[in-house]
Amino acid sequence: MVLTKFGIIKQFILNKIEAGTWPQNAKVPSENELAEQFNVSRMTARRALQELTEQGVLVRTQGAGTFVATFKSQSSLLEINNIADEVSARGHHHRAKQIKLCGVTVDDEIAILLGCHSGSDAFYSEILHLENDVPIQLEQRYVNNKLVPTYLEQDFNEITPHEFLSSVAPLTEASHEIEAVLAPIDLCKHLDIEMHQPCLQVKRRTWARQGVVSVAILTSPGNRYRLGGHIKVSTA
Amino acid sequence: MVLTKFGIIKQFILNKIEAGTWPQNAKVPSENELAEQFNVSRMTARRALQELTEQGVLVRTQGAGTFVATFKSQSSLLEINNIADEVSARGHHHRAKQIKLCGVTVDDEIAILLGCHSGSDAFYSEILHLENDVPIQLEQRYVNNKLVPTYLEQDFNEITPHEFLSSVAPLTEASHEIEAVLAPIDLCKHLDIEMHQPCLQVKRRTWARQGVVSVAILTSPGNRYRLGGHIKVSTA
DNA sequence: AAGTGGTCTAGACCACTTG
DNA sequence: AAGTGGTCTAGACCACTTG
């Protein structure tokens, strides 16, 4: 892995904050100071500060400077994938049932999301998650077969795709879309619900360093599952 | 409002997508093409493409090009409240219609959420948000009458509750619960949907420094609204 | 081989905040 | 007045994908 210059500067800043050297509201070096210190152009130093600001780690004010944010915005969205832990945390029993595990030819939509070509091959898994033996989520997942060549050799009754993927290609990024939908009839059967029952559907794309690892479509009956989150806004 | 050059290019691209000229998966002009067309440097054209990619509007692949994304991220969780800005960002027209604005006696559930006693008084507003005159969200909001005594004097056809509340009691924290539900019949009427239509419902509690400011119940037709988000894990 | 996006430079001018 | 962040330029080299 080749490190970028702005990545090195980001890590430097994160380390200082992590170590407590720069506490909340502390002023961090200016673009010019970082540029000189790391012997890079101002634009490169700027990019490091900019990305940490977008991540909610820093707060910037024109004319005044760049500061460590007061609260770090946290999101439980990152943990959406980890339904096994979530169920366990409620003191309930989690079980996963592998419905499908195979290779597929990807269509246009999935190809773009996975960052591969339409018509190329990928792996596909379909897993039903149960909480105390009640179905709470159907996980349909397309996996990049180049990044995870051993995916089809797993037994997803024993380990969740999320756990397995985390072990071979640690998550670095994720994006989600959350929608309310009516599930198609085959999904209704798996989830043991009526067709008119609203479902929460999360489409999630996950990245590792090497690129897009997988695209998951998570469908849950509206009356058995909800998402929650708590966010603290960085304030001055 | 001073427009930036990259802002003009972003708007140009959004308009093309909006108009259907560039459908999903369509290739958009390259950095060099945009730079020439708008007579700007490549870095400026790049920034427009980059920001739209971060917003989930575009997808980029090195060597291949930039494409219109299949899933459009519509809203990040932090900005759930700010539906007016969100609609404007899509280049659409936002309008709000005040349906109710009154005092109420709170029941047990709302009392707990608002941090007051059951049977005490609070303010209540009901506002319908429209995007290009199509209803996209019904906002039911209970407001702490001690922290915001002037709430009933506002005209929420002119200013959104979020804008008003932000001006008098800046947001410091928020929590959400997201669910898929079937809307009760009166909500269906306001939203102009059939009763069997699944809806995305967000219950949001917001804090200012002084305490809980308000509890909002945001209900949107599943086919007209979705939530999106992108998270980066801190990495080098 | 040509085109694309990813990173980076060394400058510039500006609006803004601070002492 | 000096420093800061915000925007922008006109170049450069690279890794990667496509024909």
Q: What is the mean pLDDT of residues A46-72?
A: 83
State the Cα–Cα distance between residues B3 and A74, nearest whole angstrom.
Answer: 32
Residue A207: which CATH number? Answer: 3.40.1410.10
> At residue B35, what are phi and psi to the nearest 5 degrees?
-60, -45
Choose the weakest-confidence range: A20-34, A146-160, A164-178, B156-170. A164-178
Flag whether pLDDT at B228 surpasses 70.
Answer: no
A85 and A48 co-located in one domain? no
Flag whether pLDDT at B232 surpasses 50.
Answer: no
Structural domain total, chain B: 2
The answer as to whether A235 is a domain residue is no
A164 and A131 co-located in one domain? yes
Nearest nucleotide from residue B49 CA, by C1' atom = C5
Share of residues in chain B with pLDDT > 90 (%): 36
Q: What is the mean pLDDT of residues A10-32?
A: 88
Last residue of a domain, one of A69, A95, A125: A69
A93 and A185 co-located in one domain? yes
Q: What is the mean pLDDT of residues B191-211?
A: 84
If one compares A116 and B45, the residue with the highest pLDDT of the two is B45
Domain that holds residue B44: 5-69
pLDDT band at B72 (very low <50, low <70, confident <90, very high): very low
Residue A38: which CATH number? Answer: 1.10.10.10
B62 and B177 co-located in one domain? no
The answer as to whether A234 is a domain residue is no
A202 and A102 co-located in one domain? yes
B102 and B30 co-located in one domain? no
Give chain A's count of helices (H) and strands (E). Answer: 7, 10
Q: Decide: CB of A60 under 7 A of nucleic strand D.
A: yes
Residues A122-140 pLDDT 10s: 999 999 999 888 898 999 9
The answer as to whether A229 is a domain residue is no
Share of residues in chain B with pLDDT > 70 (%): 88
Flag whether pLDDT at B75 surpasses 80.
Answer: no
A151 and A170 co-located in one domain? yes
Contact B78 A78 (CB under 8 A): no
Last residue of a domain, one of B69, B88, B104: B69
Q: What is the mean pLDDT of residues B143-152?
A: 91
A154 and A99 co-located in one domain? yes
pLDDT band at B9 (very low <50, low <70, confident <90, very high): very high
Q: Decide: CB of A11 under 7 A of nucleic strand C.
A: no
The whole-number pLDDT of residue A233 equals 46
Those residues whose C-beta lies under 8 Å from the C-beta of residue B208, and which sit 6 or more positions away, are B147, B169, B170, B171, B172
The answer as to whether A120 is a domain residue is yes
Torsion (CA) B20, B22, B25, B26 in degrees, nearest 10:
150
The whole-number pLDDT of residue B84 equals 80
The whole-number pLDDT of residue A228 equals 62
Choose the weakest-confidence range: A20-24, A48-52, B46-50, B75-79. B75-79
The answer as to whether B228 is a domain residue is no
The burial class, CB within 10 Å (0-12 / 13-18 / 19+), for B154 is buried
Q: Decide: CB of A234 under 7 A of nucleic strand C.
A: no
B30 and B103 co-located in one domain? no
CB < 8 Å from A in window 39-98 of B:
54, 56, 59, 61, 67, 69-74, 77-78
Last residue of a domain, one of A18, A38, A69: A69
- Contacting residues of A for B232, CB less than 8 Å apart: 55, 172-173
Contact A226, B179 (CB under 8 A): yes
B111 and B44 co-located in one domain? no
A184 and A123 co-located in one domain? yes
The whole-number pLDDT of residue A232 equals 46
Q: Which amino acid is at B4?
A: T
The whole-number pLDDT of residue B39 equals 94
Residues A101-113 pLDDT 10s: 999 988 877 887 7
The answer as to whether A44 is a domain residue is yes
B116 and B46 co-located in one domain? no
The answer as to whether B154 is a domain residue is yes
Two tokens at A224? 């058995």
Q: Which of A109, A176, A220 to mutate to test the interface with B (most CBs of B within 10 A)?
A: A176
State the Cα–Cα distance between residues A175 and A197, nearest whole angstrom.
Answer: 26
State the Cα–Cα distance between residues A171 and A208, nearest whole angstrom.
Answer: 5
Residues A187-234 pLDDT 10s: 889 999 888 888 988 888 887 767 788 999 999 888 777 776 555 443
The whole-number pLDDT of residue B80 equals 56
The answer as to whether A231 is a domain residue is no
- Contacting residues of A for B196, CB less than 8 Å apart: 182, 196
